[in-house]
Structure 1
Amino acid sequence: MPRKLFVTGATGFVGQHLARRLQEMQGLWQLLECGRVDLLQPNDLDAALSAGVPDAVIHLAGQTFVPEAFRDPAATLQVNVQGTLNLLQALKRAGFSGSFLYVSSGDVYGQVAEEDLPIHEGLPPRPRNPYAVSKLSAELLCQQWSYTEGWHIVLARPFNHVGAGQRDAFVLASAARQIARMRLGLQPPRLVVGDVDVTRDFLDVRDVIDAYFAILEKGISGEVYNVCSGQEQKIRDLIQQLAELAGVELELVEDPARMRRAEQRRVCASNVKLQQATGWKPTITIRQTLETILSDWETRVLQE
């Protein structure tokens, strides 16, 4: 008999991949259909849970855009902290006693000195924007509930994840879209960029989903786990790889307006704690990921 799974943010980038992964898991989970739920409306949450008490919850939903968090920090805190509290309280009213995964962010670590790389869970969080503050606050709230309610509550801190279907507001998705357009003759082979000599830790969204299920099943209640590849990749190199895969010779043009020097030049995180606790390991190479997002954007560009 499949276990019932409640997912917030199921219509987003990660949520859509999660739904596809559930179909591949051969009846292990039944996704509870709840439509769009407003986390700030307790009645919405009660109605969504009225169809049945879930065995597990993956809480993906929230305000995730850092510039928006600076523009309206109060709304970001309300959605990400009050919304999480509303969800926990609605689950309690429904009689929930299962496993709960809160998806936080690697952004909570803030600026990390190069001598402290790779970033591990033992480093003290030092959030540098209202979004990261909201995610860390919700983490603490979830941990408190794990202590006082006796629920199995685990926390994930994902770093950069990429894949098909991602909006082109993100650097690799934006580059893949433009390179797909170049390959199709829709724009000249010039890519205007900002600072592409920083490194980041990218993980394929499909590996991210598998990590979430591994944490949900095998993570220790109250514990936090980095979700990352453990490899740092220079943005410039990944853009060049996309161009090579597309067979496009392009010129990178640095836009002074976009050349604000990044506070964090290098990002590499450790997934050792996650691997030791669950046995999870990344299975998709960065080249396979780049091939996927390039193919996806070629299809999407033709539909624009």
Structure 2
Amino acid sequence: GGRDANALQDDGRIAVWNGELTAFRDSLRWCCDTQNYPEWAYWREGGSLKSSCVNGSDLIPPAFDDDEIKVIALSATMTVDRSFEYWANETGLAPDETAVLDSPFDLPSLMEIDVVDLGLQVMSPGYADAVARVCRKYARENGGATLVLLSSRRLLTAVSAYLKMNAEKDRLNILVQGDLPRTDLLELFKENERSVLVGMASFREGIDVPGEALTQVIIDRIPFPHPDDPVGEARAKLEGRENFVKVVLPGAKMQLRQAAGRLIRTGADRGRVVILDGRIVTRPDWKILNSLPAVPVKKYRLVGARK
């Protein structure tokens, strides 16, 4: 009897192992056979081969084919320039009815936007240092209660190191994404109003810190995708010359609004959004400010920046 049980157990293990190997073989074959490019992107990341759908507009609608399914989609950041066109194009879902509602808060009296032109390209040698110095100035001036959102791990490392180096002098508590689990970081941030929380793109969403614990959000630049992003590269190939206007710019506007939305969470909140990207002003054709709350805007330029 015992031998039969062991044999069954072994058979089960072999079946699982066989299933895993088959799945591995199919995935490897899919990634190596790149015939679905550019609808799908394929790339190597470390020791892995990866693949991702580039546009969900063909995959999402079949999930809602059933006439019995009624969908109500709600978000503070679904529209771009008060239009659902970008959302509809990305999801493939054509809305039957739409409504755009204004904020319930009197935002012009609750917040302002500072635009700081660093006078430097992202890849300039002094760029990270300039971002770090401006972040420190604003965090110190605000007495903490600041969320810093950065677009790369390189900047996260440089800015957090600079803030930590001056933390004792500035009497600031510096919390950095990756040092602790996200929930722990948020708890510490809420507990100490002299805190600065430094994070990356994932911190643009799902952070709800009302009141005096968060009165300033600093965003290092318009959140355009990294030029080497394999999914973005494939999408550019797919869309051609319309890619920037149809995909890249609306996506960046939506993400910028999500980031700015961390600031005012209740009608009693006050604060400032600081964006370290002069293109918001120097590229009026992009209409970035139009996609942000209509609040007072102050413009600054960093003096002495090295080109």
Determine if the TM-score, normalized by the shorter chain, exceeds 0.5: no
Larger Rg: 1 or 2?
2
TM-score under structure 2 length normalisation: 0.31
TM-score under structure 1 length normalisation: 0.31
Q: Which fold has the larger relative contact order, with Cα–Cα distance below 8 Å and residues 6 or more apart in sequence?
A: 2
